[in-house]
Structure 1
Amino acid sequence: MRGRAMIGLVALVGLALLIYLLADVLLPFVAGLALAYLLDPIADRLERLGLGRLTASLLILAMFVIGLVVALLLVVPLAANQISALIATLPGMVSRLQGILADRAGPLLQRVGGADVLTDLQSQVGTLVGQGGTWFLAFLKSLWSGSQAIISIASLLVVTPVVAFYLLVDWDRMVAAVDGWVPPRHRPVVRRLGWEIDGAVTGFVRGQTLVCLILGTFYAVGLFFVGLNFGVLIGLIAGFLTFIPYVGTLTGFLLSAGVALAQFWPDSDWLHIGLTIGVFVVGQFLEGNIISPKLVGESVGLHPVWLMFALLAFGSLFGFVGLLLAVPVAASIGVLVRFVLERYLQSPLYHADSPVLLSNSVVSKPDR
């Protein structure tokens, strides 16, 4: 058992090192694997309707590529225009917010900490926003500059559908081959763990993807009708970040509240500011009480804190490949930990009948 554990540990370390060294090369292949995994139930359903596996895979990939291209043609130009406009108007909005802060909070801050407190706070806010804008511009420039980025984007758009197609065609055979590698005496346990991991991953990824699409659309449309500048962009950002629990709503709320204050105060008597906040209040209510319970449920076994840690840790170590691997790895670790805990609670070590001895005497509870 100890030798098997050492072999498994060495294999995991080697795999992690390989992913770290080949993250840029592995991206289209990992993305293709994830895409085939997500689309496999649709292929199975089409097979039950009478289509062959090859025909079903071709039809699914063709529809997916067409939908992706249409979405990119509609969303990317709009997002690019709003991003450029946001960058151009950011200094003016910051000055506007600083003016509101000086008008409303200035007298209170001066009474509490003196005249220099307000000046220092305005200076720190301006510096912070300026640094954030500089970092954002540098980040955007790094995404689009250099041949490596162009090669990565091209490989992602070209190689990923090809990889997904071949994996989707051979998915059932690959699963059967892996199942055949497991020793027969261990197959019931391994299959049970595999089903639990698959249920956790599919329940979260497919459900949370629909949640992101629904909330992103709701926020974008709601902020657009409120009349908020960059409302569509903020709504899409909030919907995309909803994949990380609570991060999307909080980010969208802070961005929209800041833009609403700079845009509407004090001309609209808080009406539009209240409507902007109301969009996120309604969205959070729908997500927590209707959308997430229906689409994701509570049986996936992924705690929000554990999921956020996995996404941040894997994203920091392995980049975008790590983000794709974070959810399945986190779900797998959660299932394995629960399995080990279940075995421990059923073991003689937990249900020992003999009292705990210390120096040949029974340890008793001390008197208080």
Structure 2
Amino acid sequence: MALPIRDQLKYWGIAAAVFLVAFWFLGNVLVPFLMGAAIAYFLDPVADRLERIGLSRTMATAVITIIALLTFVVLALLVVPTLVNQTTSLIETAPKLTRDFTDFLIQRFPSLLDEGSTLRTSLTSLGATIQERGGQVLKTALASFASILNIILLFVIVPVVSVYLLLDWDRMVASVDELLPREHAPTIRRLAREIDKTLASFVRGMGTVCLVLGTYYAIALMAVGLQFGLVVGAIAGLVTFIPYLGALIGGALAIGLALFQFWGDWVSIGLVAGIFVLGQVIEGNFLTPKLVGNSVGLHPVWLLLALSVFGTLFGFVGMLIAVPVAAAIGVIARFAVEQYQHSLLYKGSDAPPSPRQDLP
């Protein structure tokens, strides 16, 4: 005999409350484990594919680990120092760029920047603010990552957790499936498959798109001689998961820097603009349809709301779980709407009955 709905809601409500309280107090401790789980989830299809070609799970995990270590060493030796140096230089030169921009406007639009005007005051303070705040943020981040504890968490615990979870991923999924309430197991499996499909499309697909586009932008911008091409490419690739925002922010930043660096050299400025136009063509016609698909189920506004809410409530660890939770809530909401549209509450008592899947 199944438990009454009221008792089920009570027990599940207590379990959810305990989970949230534990998550609230242990959030910082859970960061490396959540990051490790995210990496393992991202790489699980690669391990499955290696298994299909004849490797054991242990060998597949070993191959992925070796490739990941080699990639990390290359990034640590070649890319990260250049990225940090360019970011520091960009912050330090922000006041000069602001002054140059102000002089440019004064020469061509003198009436807009009269002495003491609001626009001129804002532009004057903008560069100093970026330098002051940007430098503080960069120094804080570098100091944080340079601490012994963070080095251990990021460079030891996260890879170890990722390897163990990747090795045992299929067994863990099977164990969780065995613990599902038998009465609700079919519905939970269906929702879990839909959540996994949404996450796979967004996290794996968009993560790959961001990586490819960020690499393309960085290499192409450095190839045409833009001073801060690596930083601009990294920023554009990082925010590509929000449609058009990556190209808009990266393009505006790159073209703005190109105007100062290549003023009068319209060919170089045109090349910088063309890089972002070509990037949008590649993303819209090849990368996103191939890697993400047409129906992801995560609207950009819903994603931004989830990141803001969970980031405010739980800090950095909240931002780590924002995307999975947003995907789960979206799938459950669509399931609830489907159940509602098959119910008497929606159709009315006079509507003919129709086959449906009852809500457990």
* TM score, norm. by length of structure 1: 0.87
Q: 2:281 aligns with which of 279, 282, 285?
A: 285
1:59-138 matches, cutoff 5 A: 59-107=63-111, 109=112, 115=114, 119-138=117-136
Residue 58 in 1 paired to residue 56 in 2? no
Stretches of structure 1 lacking an aligned partner (at least 5 in a row): 356-368
Equivalent pair of 2:215/2:237 in contact (CA under 8 Å): yes
Q: Max radius of gyration: which structure?
A: 1
How far apart, CA to CA, are the structure 2 residues paired with 1:152 and 1:354? 64
2:311 corresponding residue in structure 1: 315
How far apart, CA to CA, are the structure 2 residues paired with 1:297 and 1:4? 37
Measured against aligned partners, the alpha-carbon deviations of 1:282-336 in whole angstroms (never above 9, x if no partner) come to 2223222322121111222111111122223323333332232111111111100
How far apart, CA to CA, are the structure 2 residues paired with 1:278 and 1:248? 15
How far apart, CA to CA, are the structure 2 residues paired with 1:250 and 1:8? 44
Worse-matched range after superposition: 64-73 or 296-305: 64-73
Identical residues among aligned pairs (%): 47
Equivalent pair of 2:98/2:126 in contact (CA under 8 Å): no
Q: How many pairs were matched up?
A: 347
How far apart, CA to CA, are the structure 2 residues paired with 1:147 and 1:345? 51
1:2-81 matches, cutoff 5 A: 2-81=6-85
Equivalent pair of 1:245/1:308 in contact (CA under 8 Å): no
The residue matched to 2:293 in structure 1 has which SS? coil
The residue matched to 2:296 in structure 1 has which SS? coil
1:363 corresponding residue in structure 2: none
Counterpart of 1:247, as a letter, is L
* TM score, norm. by length of structure 2: 0.89
Equivalent pair of 1:207/1:295 in contact (CA under 8 Å): yes
Worse-matched range after superposition: 340-349 or 158-167: 158-167
Deviation at 1:116, TM superposition (A): 5.2
Deviation at 1:149, TM superposition (A): 4.4
Q: 1:325 aligns with which of 321, 328, 343?
A: 321
Deviation at 1:106, TM superposition (A): 2.3
Q: 2:269 aligns with which of 263, 269, 273?
A: 273
Q: 2:250 aligns with which of 212, 230, 252?
A: 252
Superposition misfits of 4+ residues, deviation over 4 angstroms: 146-149
Measured against aligned partners, the alpha-carbon deviations of 1:247-281 in whole angstroms (never above 9, x if no partner) come to 3222212221221222222x32x333333222222
Residue 304 in 1 paired to residue 308 in 2? no
The residue matched to 1:124 in structure 2 has which SS? helix
Stretches of structure 2 lacking an aligned partner (at least 5 in a row): 352-360
The residue matched to 2:93 in structure 1 has which SS? helix
How far apart, CA to CA, are the structure 2 residues paired with 1:148 and 1:21? 25
2:224 corresponding residue in structure 1: 226
How far apart, CA to CA, are the structure 2 residues paired with 1:211 and 1:218? 10
CA-atom RMSD in angstroms: 2.2
1:364 corresponding residue in structure 2: none
